[in-house]
Amino acid sequence: MERLDVTILGREYPLACEPEEKEALMTAATLVDRTMQRIKAGSKITGTERIAVMAALHLATELLNARAPDGPLSQLAVGDYKRKIEDMNRVIDDTLGTQEKLF
């Protein structure tokens, strides 16, 4: 493990990560910091915790609405994949439950 110090909203956070994860973690920390800075500057929210929650909601919404770059599933967002998988799991569970009742 490697130690990495990141600064988010003016506060330093020590993190540990594998060497091959360092660049991605630094990029993620920069994204979180920029999102929190933008929320702080563009609103009357002052509490760090509330800013962090708003940033988390913003980033989660972006993630769930992200689209695959190309290919046959490029019209689906990540959240759509999740819902489709949950629907398939329900169908499988229902089918297996029905089959168990027959035996």
Interval 25-83: pLDDT, tens:
999 999 999 999 999 999 988 899 999 999 999 998 888 777 666 666 667 666 676 77
Residue 6, beta-bridge partner list: 13
**What is the spatial distance between Cα 28 and Cα 70, in angstroms, rounded to a whole number?**
23
Q: Where are the domains of the chain?
A: 1-65, 68-103
Chain CA centroid to CA 78, Å: 10
At residue 24, does pLDDT exceed 80? yes
**What is the spatial distance between Cα 101 and Cα 103, in angstroms, rounded to a whole number?**
5
87: confidence class by pLDDT, cuts 50, 70, 90: confident
